[in-house]
């Protein structure tokens, strides 16, 4: 029996759609059958399944498990929790061969989707397209799998606490931190974690509510950090940490309420790690500040700029043996004393550890960073059929440029004023732009270069669109 997915659902890094419009139980069942078929072909048998706090997640979980078992895979249900808890279930168990988390991440409440891991590696790109091909052909394996439930939350939280190993916890007794779970799936794990951490912890919105009644769970948007900034200010806390809807992306503010962006967090983690390990590769995506790459080199590391996308970064980490990587979007990946996947709760613990080992407050660490002037990530609509063609046109025009042109993911141009970036999103019909300089005048000149390239391709920077 063949099955067709809506054309918008099978994406580069994950599977995502709108419940009742482009995604439903039949899709989840077909995803389960396809994933199980591929896993069995590769010699695997057992799949861990978890889900986030969205209203539609239990329905999708039920259908996904039906599909997995109908194609002969056994299922370990780990229940509701953050995506990294599902990753942990897969990474920490030798008998589990793959994992699927049902999650809409930071998308609006009516969205949902699936993030997958396959025999210890990211499952994305051509893998996801293969699920569509199997469904269209009805070429699924048949079988009868078994289902078991496993309580893993306490074990996962204990593993998070290992991020403080080797640190005198008595010395952290005066620590005061604010946390905002944004009514996302990380809430219950955060409550258990905060109860074990040394110091004093103030929690916001840990009750899981898929309607997100307080604010949208995307910590890279400044407006979503307002409640955390108010909490840190009102209680004079040392710093604050926020999570996205499924707990794999971190946001942070210092004791003065200043945002610590993803690349700035990576500067702190790098400085800490490079005290203990020298000459290792640390990876950041093409949207990251020049200051990060320079800081990694200053501290004795080998900075590597790579493509945006959590699956692409994870794959590059495995290839290079990198112990640490991160993205502007708040994905931080620790292979140093951890499993190499993106886990915002673990990143929160490691921020406490880094501050302790470096002997500086998070506010002091933020204050010593270069004061670069940069744009936020600008996203604007472009026809799907044009987005990659535009980038190719820009590359061609810059072929003889005297500026430093990095074409690893879109175009990143570095010159005396700083740098600017133009890339096509892999997941939406948008172009992404960003620029950074040490002066407002320099930033204006960089933005003029972006506008000039767009105009040469018959485009202009239109209204901003969300993730």
Backbone angles phi, psi at 165, to 5 degrees: -55, 135
In Å, how far are 195, 203, 221, 323 from 182, measured between CA atoms? 18, 10, 13, 29
Give, to the nearest 10 degrees, the angle between helix 187-196 and helix 153-161: 50
For the chain, percent helix, then strand, then coil, each to nearest 5? Answer: 40, 25, 40
Task: Verify whether residue 367 is a known catalytic residue.
Answer: no
Task: Quote the Cα angle for 376-381-387, to 5°.
Answer: 100
Catalytic residue among 71, 105, 355, 437: 105
Find the Cα–Cα–Cα–Cα dihedral 161, 162, 168, 174, rounded to 10°. -20
**Residue 224 in contact with residue 242, Cβ under 8 Å?**
yes
Give CA–CA dist 173/191, Å, rounded: 18
Distance CA 402, CA 251 (A): 37
Q: What is the rounded CA–CA span in Å between residue 138 and residue 161?
A: 45
Q: What is the torsion angle, in degrees rounded to the nearest 10, for the CA atoms of residue 103, residue 106, residue 111 and residue 113?
A: -30
Residues facing 281 on adjacent strands = 302
| 324-326 vs 332-334, strand pairing mode | antiparallel
Report the SS3 class of residue 43: coil
Nearest to 248 by CA among 342, 333, 185: 342
Burial class (CB in 10 A: 0-12, 13-18, 19+), 373: middle
For residues 421 and 444, what is the distance between their CA atoms, to the nearest angstrom? 14
Given a contact cutoff of 8 angstroms between Cβ atoms, the answer to whether 219 and 158 are in contact is no
Residues known to be catalytic = 105
């Amino acid at each position: 029996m063949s099955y067709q997915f809506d054309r918008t659902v099978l994406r580069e890094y994950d599977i995502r759609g709108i419940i009742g419009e482009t995604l439903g139980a039949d899709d989840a069942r077909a995803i389960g059958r396809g994933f199980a078929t591929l896993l069995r072909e590769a010699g695997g048998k057992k799949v861990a399944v978890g889900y986030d706090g969205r209203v539609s997640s239990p329905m999708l979980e039920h259908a996904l498990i039906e599909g997995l078992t109908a194609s002969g895979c056994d299922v370990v249900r780990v229940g509701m929790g953050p995506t990294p808890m599902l990753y942990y279930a897969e990474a920490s168990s030798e008998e589990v061969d793959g994992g699927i988390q049902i999650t809409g991440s930071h998308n609006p409440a009516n969205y949902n989707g699936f993030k997958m891991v396959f025999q210890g590696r990211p499952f994305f790109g051509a893998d996801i397209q293969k699920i569509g091909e199997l469904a269209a052909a009805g070429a699924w394996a048949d079988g009868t799998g078994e289902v078991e439930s496993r309580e893993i939350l306490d074990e996962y939280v204990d593993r998070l606490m290992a991020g403080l190993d080797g640190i005198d916890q008595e010395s952290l007794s005066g620590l005061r931190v604010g946390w905002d779970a944004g009514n996302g799936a990380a809430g219950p794990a955060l409550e258990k974690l905060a109860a074990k951490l040394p110091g004093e912890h103030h929690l916001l919105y840990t009750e899981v509510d898929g309607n997100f009644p307080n604010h949208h769970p995307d910590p890279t948007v400044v407006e979503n950090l307002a409640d955390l900034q108010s909490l840190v200010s009102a209680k004079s806390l040392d710093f604050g940490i926020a999570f996205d809807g499924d707990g794999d992306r971190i946001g942070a503010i210092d004791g003065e309420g200043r945002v610590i962006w993803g690349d700035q967090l990576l500067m702190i983690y790098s400085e800490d790690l490079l005290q203990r390990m020298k000459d290792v590769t640390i990876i950041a995506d093409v949207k990251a500040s020049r200051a990060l790459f320079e800081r990694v080199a200053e501290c004795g590391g080998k900075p590597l700029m790579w493509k945006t996308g959590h699956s692409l970064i994870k794959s590059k980490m495995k290839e290079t043996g990198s112990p640490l990587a991160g993205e502007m979007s708040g994905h931080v990946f620790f292979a140093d004393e951890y499993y190499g996947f993106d886990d915002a709760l673990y990143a929160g613990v490691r921020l406490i550890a880094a501050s302790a080992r470096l002997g500086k407050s998070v506010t002091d660490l933020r204050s010593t960073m270069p004061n670069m002037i940069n744009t936020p990530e600008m996203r604007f609509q472009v026809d799907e059929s044009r987005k990659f063609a535009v980038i190719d046109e820009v590359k061609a025009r810059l072929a003889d440029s005297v500026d430093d042109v990095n074409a690893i993911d879109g175009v990143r141009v570095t010159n005396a004023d700083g740098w600017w970036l133009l890339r096509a999103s892999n997941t939406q019909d948008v172009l992404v732009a960003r620029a950074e300089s040490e002066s407002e005048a320099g930033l204006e000149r960089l933005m003029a270069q972006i506008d000039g390239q767009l105009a040469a391709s018959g485009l202009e920077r239109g209204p901003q669109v969300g993730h």
